[in-house]
């Protein structure tokens, strides 16, 4: 049991972070804390992807250039996937980690930052309009505010 | 084909990418346009051209089969491919038509809803949201789905929050939607991670081939499917995960409500179909169990409970929002039956519901535009004040209930037949019962509008105050469309039915 | 006369150009190794943000006007998309860089440089936009009462 955890501690870390994040999102009534929870939750997914991209004993996925000066660096430019694959295979014996998850996560990080920025700017607007960032109070203010409007009509 | 000459050959070669690139680039252009009224024209022409292109592709796949487009010439499975087939083409057309009608409606409604300074950003965000939805539907790469899903969602959060100019509750609604939407998207991407672990690819066709080779795969892909279905369920507003929807629909600017109600959830349902039936396969035992118990269970509970909730709402927008949750239940029920007739019925209801809800939300938006009212009690006497608008609302309402000779009737009858085929009599009963509840919540609005006395606003009675033409046009197009589907005028009804049958055959067989 | 932040100001004034230079190194090294528009954009934006933190938002807005931000965001996307449109005009698929030059490998090179510049442009301005948007709010607590 303990060896299972030690061998796959990366998943344990991911799961702990994931659950922490989700719990914070659902349990806190403070808008900023919820966003913090959301960020932790999203970050755990980034970790999950990065750990699945690692191949045991794999090198960083950079194909060595044969000519180091950029004038003669034709070998690093590929017109097609086939050409790239042939170069990767020709440098035989070298095991590369999978670079694809990293690329995916770069995109996911950008998406996460965009979400966080939009979320924070919404919180700023809420703070300006309501004067609070506690969900309970916002709901209470809305109840009072709209009850008055309806009664006035 | 002679009708093909309407479209240049280029559309069939580059159309799939063009449908995403045009709105995305024009969104960026719109954001820096100095002239405010030009933003509307740009947006309108973009949606018009996209509708034309989507229609060309739609015709093409019926005559010449599906289209596969490779981004940057990188062949799948390495590159990103775009797929237009019998399943995605009708949804592409639906999204572009609804976007065009929404933009037409948006011109008068922006005057009262969006500050002049914010109009160019508004249209920019709208175009980016549109591009995201098109991308979600058209892409054949699973991770690309996530990117486009987030592109459309993030712009939707911004658009919903723009309702704050008139109703401050839209801020909290947008925030809530952001939290739920992001959790949904993150669940989806966790699911994709598991699928990637199992198959080592992100191309949907490749994934599907590997999964069927593995006969469904190990526990990893089961867990992956579970995450994907929860993530998409949040976006679809599947019953227990629908809590963000009523508030977002009720407090967003009216045109965003129209656009979201008729496209966003529909695109997410498309993804559910795509993943459940083409990436995975209903013949895997865990998918069959999911369909039978989870999706159908959520559908049944949603149809009944959300309809009940709709009855007790005092705000018309919330009535329609809860009704949307219930109608999603109908679509999911068709999907859960998972036979070719069930899928066709669900798909047909998806298209019909988009048209019906578009019509209803446009008329509600017109009432708000004229009188600033949304509560059921305020609808008193609107048949006398706004006869044309209320007429379109009634058409939409009747279609939602499923009165004969309307679109709603056609799809509900097909759904009942599909359920009866499988001898699911309880499902038939629930469909009929939920329709009765629809009569109650739509009926009470129409009764108030028909029999009540005309509204008195600031002490004066409005004799007649019709909505502007730019609003009447889209709502009547959609209202008449739903009748045309119901009575099969000009073969439109048959066209919709055959589109849904082809979609079902794509889902159950190979590419059709 | 007595400025408490004199060391910070001198050091950061010295650092800002090097951060910007490093950003461009990451940008153009992206062709041959790790790097690229995203990372470079964030590094470049951090140079502006550091400047704003030390010398104040007003000074930063003079150095990098907010009007550039909106134009930069759009033009980055347009540069990216425009490359794709150019490949369309030259008769290829969208973003098939191979058609950009006689030798497809060179075409790939030119294409990726243009696209990465677009990414750099957008990411930098978006990061600065986010900073400006939050930085320009009135603080609740006065600076002296921290």
Q: What number is the ipTM of this complex?
A: 0.86
Q: What is the DSSP letter of B69?
A: E
Interhelix angle B169-199/A135-152, nearest 10 degrees: 140
Whether the CB-CB separation of B442 and B386 falls below 8 Å is answered with: no
pLDDT band (50, 70, 90) for residue C84: confident
State the average pLDDT for chain A.
79
Q: What is the mean pLDDT of residues B124-128?
A: 92
pLDDT at A71: 41
Q: Would you say residue C28 lies in a domain?
A: yes
- Four-residue CA torsion sign, A12, A14, A17, A20: negative
* Residue A75 pLDDT class (50, 70, 90 cuts): very low
Give the nearest chain C residue to A68 (CA atoms): C32
| 8 Å CB contact of A108 and B196 | no
- A79: pLDDT confidence band, cut at 50, 70 and 90? low
Residue A76 scores a pLDDT above 60: no
Contacts of A74 in chain C (CB under 8 A): 105
Residues B376-417 pLDDT 10s? 777 777 777 788 888 898 899 999 988 888 888 988 999 999
A79 vs C contacts (CB less than 8 Å): 98, 103-105, 107-108
Tabulate helix, strand, coil % of chain C (nearest 5). 75, 0, 25
Question: What HEC string does B376-418 produce?
Answer: HHHHCCHHHHCHHHHHHHHHHHHHHHCCCCCHHHHHHHHHHHH
Task: Give the model's pLDDT for residue A81.
Answer: 61
Quickly state the pLDDT bin for B494 (edges 50, 70, 90): confident
**pLDDT by residue (tens digit) across B222-274?**
899 999 999 999 999 888 888 889 888 888 888 899 999 999 999 999 999 99
Report the distance separating Cα C104 and Cα B114, nearest Å: 48
Pair B57, B89: CB distance under 8 Å: yes
pLDDT for B78 equals 75
Number of domain units in chain B? 1
Give the residue on C whose Cα is nearest the Cα of A67. C32
Residues 6+ apart with CB under 8 A from A94: A59
Specify whether the CB–CB gap between B448 and B380 falls below 8 A. yes
Q: Has residue B16 been placed in a domain?
A: no
- CB < 8 Å from A in window 22-41 of B: none
B341 falls within a domain? yes
Instruction: Tell whether B430 is covered by a domain.
Output: yes
**pLDDT at residue A64, as a whole number:** 61
Cα–Cα nearest to B236, from B330, B161, B377: B330
On the 0-12 / 13-18 / 19+ scale of CB atoms within 10 A, B115 is exposed
Do the beta carbons of residue B133 and residue B393 sit within 8 Å? no
Q: Over 50: is that where the pLDDT of B455 sits?
A: yes
| pLDDT recorded at residue B1 | 45
pLDDT above 60 for A49: yes
Over residues C10-39, the mean pLDDT reads 86
- How many alpha carbons fall within 13 Å on the CB side of residue C114? 20
Q: In B413-508, where do the E strands start and end?
A: 456-457, 460-461
Hey, which residues does A134 pair with through a beta bridge? A30
DSSP code for C100: G
Asked if residue A148 has pLDDT above 90, the reply is no
pLDDT for B511 beyond 50: no
- What is the per-residue pLDDT for C141? 55
Rg (CA), chain B: 22
For B161, the closest of A115, A122, A139 (CB atoms) is A122
Question: Residue C41: which of C11, C96, C85, C80 has the closest Cα?
Answer: C80
> Which residue among A115, A130, A139 places its CB closest to the CB of B154?
A115
pLDDT class of C145 with cuts at 50, 70, 90: low
State the Cα torsion B265-B270-B273-B278 to the nearest 10°: -150
Strand partners, A96: A59
* Angle A126-A118-B41 from CA coordinates, rounded to 5°: 105
pLDDT band at B301 (very low <50, low <70, confident <90, very high): very high
- Report strand pairing: B460-461 vs B456-457: antiparallel
- pLDDT confidence band for C15 (50 / 70 / 90): very high
Query: Which residue, A128, A109, A138, A113, is CA-closest to A31?
Result: A138
Q: Which residues of C touch B27 (CB under 8 A)?
A: 77
Could you tell me the pLDDT band of residue A134, with boundaries at 50, 70 and 90?
Answer: confident
Q: Rounded to an integer, what distance in angstroms lies between the CA atom of residue B203 and that of residue B223?
A: 19
Given pLDDT bands bounded at 50, 70 and 90, which one contains residue A72? Answer: very low
Q: Tell me which residue of A124, C81, A132, A25 sits closest to B187, measured CA to CA.
A: A25
Among the residue ranges B74-83, B439-448, B493-502, C14-23, the one predicted with the least confidence is B74-83
- List CB contacts of A97: < 8 A, sequence separation 6 or more: A53, A54, A55, A58, A59, A60, A61
A105 close contact with B: CB closer than 8 A? no
Whether B32 contacts chain C with CB within 8 A: yes
Residue A106: predicted pLDDT = 85
Q: Cβ C38–A73 below 8 Å, yes or no?
A: no
- A30–chain B Cβ distance below 8 A for any pair: no
pLDDT score for B189: 93
Does residue B324 register a pLDDT over 50? yes
| Residue C117 counted as domain residue | yes
Q: Taking a C-beta distance cutoff of 8 angstroms, is the pair B100, B460 a contact?
A: no
Chain A residue with Cα closest to C136: A124
Confidence band (pLDDT; 50, 70, 90) for A73?
Answer: very low
% of chain C residues with pLDDT over 70: 91
For residue A36, name the pLDDT band (cuts at 50, 70, 90): very high
Q: Which of B14, B24, B72 sits opposite C81 (nearest CB)?
A: B24
- The answer to whether the Cβ–Cβ distance between B71 and C74 falls below 8 Å is no
CB contact under 8 A, A77 and C137: no
Chain centroid to CA B416: 22
For chain C, the domain total comes to 1
Which residue of C74, C84, C95 is in closest CB contact with B28? C74
Residue C8's alpha-carbon distances to C17, C42, C142, in angstroms, are 15, 22, 21
| B161/B62 Cα distance (integer angstroms) | 40
Interchain CB contact of B82 with C (< 8 Å): no
Does the structure show a pLDDT above 50 at C87?
A: yes
B-chain residues near C74 (CB < 8 A): 28-29, 31-32
Yes or no, beta carbons of C134 and A79 under 8 Å apart: no
Cis peptide before B397 (omega within 30 of 0): no
**Cβ within 8 Å, pair C93-B21:** no
Look at chain C and count its residues.
146
Contact C38, C76 (CB under 8 A): no
The per-residue pLDDT of chain C, averaged, comes to 83
Give C130's contacts in chain A (Cβ within 8 Å).
117
Q: Residue B131 above 70 pLDDT?
A: yes
Q: At residue A110, does pLDDT exceed 80?
A: yes
- What is the Cβ-side half-sphere exposure of residue B243, based on CA atoms within 13 angstroms? 9
More confident residue, B202 or A75: B202
C13 domain-assigned: yes
Chain B CB contacts of A142 under 8 Å are: 168-169, 172
Give the separation between CA B418 and CA B427, rounded to whole angstroms: 10
Question: Do the Cβ atoms of C94 and B14 come within 8 Å?
Answer: yes
Beta carbons of C90 and C100 less than 8 angstroms apart: yes
Residue-level pLDDT at A74: 43
The domain of C18 spans 6-145
Question: A-chain residues within 8 Å CB-CB of C108?
Answer: 77-79
Interchain proximity B154–A49, CB inside 8 Å: no
CA–CA gap between residue C144 and residue B190 (Å, rounded): 46
All structural domains of chain A with their residue ranges: 2-55+98-152
Based on its alpha-carbon atoms, the radius of gyration of chain C, rounded to whole angstroms, reads 19
Question: What's A2-55+98-152's CATH class?
Answer: mainly alpha
Measure the CA–CA gap between B188 and B52, rounded to whole angstroms. 32
Gap between the Cα atoms of B61 and B12, Å rounded:
10
Question: For residues B242 and B334, what is the distance between their CA atoms, to the nearest angstrom?
Answer: 19
Inform me whether the C-beta atom of residue B202 falls under 8 Å from chain A C-beta atoms: yes
**How much is the pLDDT for B405?**
87
The alpha-carbon radius of gyration of chain A (Å, integer) is 25
Nearest C-alpha of chain A: how many angstroms from B188? Answer: 11
CA pair distance C25, C40, nearest whole angstrom: 8
Contact B61, B69 (CB under 8 A): no
- Could you tell me if residue C67 is left (phi over 0), alpha (psi between -120 and 50 degrees) or otherwise beta? alpha
Closest chain B residue to the Cα of A113, Cα to Cα = B154
What confidence score (pLDDT) does residue A68 get?
Answer: 43
* C74: nearest CB among B14, B21, B29: B29
Question: SS3 for A73?
Answer: coil
Per-residue pLDDT at A22: 93
Contact yes or no for B72 and C94 at CB 8 A? yes
- DSSP codes, B271-291: HHHIIIIIIS-TTSHHHHHII
Judge: A121–C104 Cβ closer than 8 Å, yes or no: no
B189 at the A interface (CB within 8 A)?
A: yes
Check residue A35 and give its pLDDT: 93
Report which of residues B22 and B452 the model is more confident about.
B22
Domain membership flag for residue B204: no
The mean pLDDT value of chain B amounts to 86
φ, ψ of residue C137 in degrees (nearest 5): -75, 150
Question: Quick check: B5 pLDDT over 80?
Answer: no
Instruction: List helix spans (H) across B200-292.
Output: 204-213, 219-236, 244-251, 254-259, 265-273, 285-289
Residue B48 pLDDT grade (very low, low, confident, very high; cuts 50, 70, 90) = very high
B147–chain A Cβ distance below 8 A for any pair: yes
- Judged against a pLDDT cut of 50, whether residue B512 lies above it is answered with no
Mean pLDDT of C7-19: 90
pLDDT of residue B28: 87
């Amino acid at each position: 049991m303990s060896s299972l955890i030690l061998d796959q501690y990366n998943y344990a870390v991911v799961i702990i972070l994931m659950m922490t994040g989700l719990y914070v999102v659902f349990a806190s009534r403070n808008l900023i804390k919820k966003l913090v929870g959301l960020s932790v939750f999203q970050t755990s997914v980034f970790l999950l992807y990065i750990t699945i991209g690692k191949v045991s004993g794999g090198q960083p996925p950079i194909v060595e250039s044969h000519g180091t000066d950029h004038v003669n660096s034709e070998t690093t430019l590929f017109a097609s996937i086939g050409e790239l694959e042939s170069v990767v295979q020709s440098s035989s014996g070298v095991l590369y980690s999978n670079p694809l998850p990293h690329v995916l996560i770069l995109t996911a990080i950008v998406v996460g930052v965009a979400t966080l920025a939009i979320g924070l700017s919404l919180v700023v607007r809420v703070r300006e309009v309501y004067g609070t960032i506690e969900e309970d109070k916002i709901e209470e203010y809305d109840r009072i505010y709209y009850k008055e409007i309806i009664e006035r009509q | 084909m002679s009708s093909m000459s309407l479209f240049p050959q280029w559309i069939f070669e580059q159309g799939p990418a063009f449908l995403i690139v045009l709105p995305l680039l024009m969104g960026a252009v719109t954001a820096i346009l100095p002239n405010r009224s030009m933003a509307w024209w740009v947006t309108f022409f973009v949606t018009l051209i996209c509708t034309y292109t989507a229609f060309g592709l739609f015709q093409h796949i019926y005559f010449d089969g599906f289209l596969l487009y490779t981004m940057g010439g990188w062949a799948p499975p390495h590159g990103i491919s775009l797929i237009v087939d019998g399943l995605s083409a009708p949804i592409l057309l639906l999204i572009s038509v609804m976007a065009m009608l929404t933009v037409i409606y948006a011109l008068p409604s922006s005057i009262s809803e969006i500050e002049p300074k914010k109009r160019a950003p508004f249209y920019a965000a709208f175009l980016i949201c549109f591009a995201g939805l098109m991308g979600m539907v058209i892409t054949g790469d699973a991770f690309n789905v996530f990117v486009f899903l987030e592109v459309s969602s993030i712009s939707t959060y911004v658009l919903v929050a723009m309702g704050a100019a008139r109703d401050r509750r839209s801020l909290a609604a947008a925030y809530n939607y952001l939290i739920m939407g992001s959790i949904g998207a993150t669940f989806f991407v966790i699911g994709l991670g598991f699928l990637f672990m199992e198959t080592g690819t992100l191309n949907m066709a490749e994934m599907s081939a590997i999964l069927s080779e593995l006969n469904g795969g190990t526990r990893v892909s089961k867990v992956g499917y579970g995450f994907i279905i929860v993530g998409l369920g949040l976006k679809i507003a599947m019953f227990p995960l629908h809590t963000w929807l009523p508030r977002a629909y009720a407090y967003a600017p009216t045109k965003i409500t129209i656009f979201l109600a008729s496209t966003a959830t529909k695109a997410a349902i498309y993804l559910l179909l795509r993943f459940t039936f083409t990436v995975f396969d209903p013949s895997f035992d865990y998918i069959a169990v999911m369909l039978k118990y989870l999706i159908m269970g959520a559908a049944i509970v949603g149809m009944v409970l959300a309809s009940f909730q709709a009855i007790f709402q005092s705000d018309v927008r919330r009535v329609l929002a809860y009704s949307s949750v219930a109608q999603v239940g109908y679509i999911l029920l068709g999907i859960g039956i998972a036979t070719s007739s069930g899928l066709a019925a669900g798909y047909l209801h998806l298209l019909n519901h988009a048209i019906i809800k578009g019509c209803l939300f446009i008329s509600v938006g017109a009432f708000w535009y004229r009188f600033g009212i949304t509560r059921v009690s305020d609808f008193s006497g609107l048949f006398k004040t706004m006869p044309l608008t209320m007429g379109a609302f009634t058409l939409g309402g009747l279609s939602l209930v499923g009165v004969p000779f309307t679109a709603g009737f056609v799809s509900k009858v097909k759904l009942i037949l599909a359920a009866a085929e499988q001898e699911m009599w309880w499902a038939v009963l629930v469909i009929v019962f939920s329709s009765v509840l629809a009569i109650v919540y739509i009926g009470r609005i129409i009764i108030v509008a028909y029999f009540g006395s005309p509204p008195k606003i600031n002490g004066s009675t409005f004799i007649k105050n019709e909505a502007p033409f730019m609003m009447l046009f889209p709502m009547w197009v959609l209202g008449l469309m739903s009748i045309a589907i119901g009575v099969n005028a000009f073969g439109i009804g048959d066209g919709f039915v055959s589109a849904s049958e082809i979609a079902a055959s794509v889902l159950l067989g190979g590419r059709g | 006369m007595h400025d408490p932040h004199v060391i910070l100001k001198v050091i950061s004034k010295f650092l800002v150009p090097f951060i910007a230079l490093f950003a461009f190194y990451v940008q153009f090294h992206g062709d041959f190794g790790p790097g690229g528009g995203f990372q470079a954009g964030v590094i470049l934006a951090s140079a502006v943000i550091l400047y704003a933190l030390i010398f104040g938002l007003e000074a930063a807005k003079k150095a990098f006007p907010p009007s550039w931000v909106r134009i930069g965001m759009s033009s980055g996307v347009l540069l990216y998309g425009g490359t794709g449109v150019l490949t369309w005009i030259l008769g290829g698929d969208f973003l098939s860089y191979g058609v950009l030059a006689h030798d497809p490998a060179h075409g790939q090179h030119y294409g990726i440089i243009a696209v990465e510049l677009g990414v750099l442009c957008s990411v930098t301005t978006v990061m600065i936009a986010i900073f400006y948007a939050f930085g320009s709010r009135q603080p609740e607590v006065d600076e002296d009462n921290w």
